[in-house]
Amino acid sequence: MNILAIGCHPDDLEIACYGTLARFVKEGHKVFACHVANGDLGHVEIPQKELGVIRIKEAQEAAKLIGAEALTLNVSDLSVNSMNEEMNKEMVRLIREVQPDLIITHPTQDYMRDHVEAGLMAFRANFQSSVFHKYPEHQKTAAVVPIYYMDTLAGVDFIPTEYVDISDVIEIKLEALACHKSQIDWMREHDGIDFLDFVRTCSKFRGLQCGVAYAEGFRPCRTWPRLTTKRYLP
């Protein structure tokens, strides 16, 4: 299968679903890790333009670590808008190029608007990618496919209905997250937050819920024609 994971910022996918993506790769599937925004506002001391370049590179390093392909729409932070025509067109183009069998993205509630808008963009653009006369210059369409919503930050107000055991890939998940040094170091030095421990704890809590050491939680998008009897997650 072709798996398209659409996160908002560099490191969002690493936090919420990189264990699952690593398992997909190990099972022989093709994984595309896309971040919509470039993370250019995620620091106080590093200038915006410089930071955007740094964070895209960090995302590429993280994807390479698990054997995924990194993609970006390169939108500035706090500017993600699912109703923006140019952003939407780029997402439709990306979906048509990838031809995904499954999409993983943000749920429709989270702690910041960028995350919510990225999830809405994935949902809307996937359906639009199936309509030939929406951006016909692409000369191709893509199928409407199942969407799985990944966890919110810290799992707040998110009750999974599906779990993936990531016990055997938890260390590579954290190693991929550690590629985002501009964020990990900043949060440790200036906010006193050990974010690697934060994510390990969240993964352990999800594992506790389903009887394994570490897990990631998901909920399927329950709209026609995305419902299926097939088990898509590893």
H/E segment holding residue 73 = strand 69-75
228 located within any domain: no
Q: What percent of the chain has pLDDT over 90?
A: 94
Overall number of domains in the chain: 1
pLDDT tens digits, one per residue of 209-233: 999 999 999 999 999 999 999 999 9
CATH number for 69: 3.40.50.10320
pLDDT higher than threshold 90 for residue 20: yes
Which residue segment(s) compose the domain that 70 sits in? 2-220
pLDDT tens digits, one per residue of 35-77: 999 999 988 889 999 999 999 999 999 999 999 999 999 999 9
pLDDT higher than threshold 90 for residue 187: no
Taking the C-alpha atoms of residue 71 and residue 209, their distance in angstroms, rounded to an integer, is: 32
CB neighbourhood size of 120 (10 A): 17
pLDDT band for position 114 (50/70/90)?
A: very high
123 located within any domain: yes
The span from the first CA to the last CA of the chain, in angstroms, equals 12
Q: Pick the more confident residue, 190 or 34.
A: 34
233 located within any domain: no
Measured at the CA of 45, the angle between CA 41 and CA 48, to 5 degrees, comes to 35
Query: CB-based contacts of 20: which residues, under 8 Å, 6+ apart?
Result: 104, 164, 166, 216, 218, 233, 234
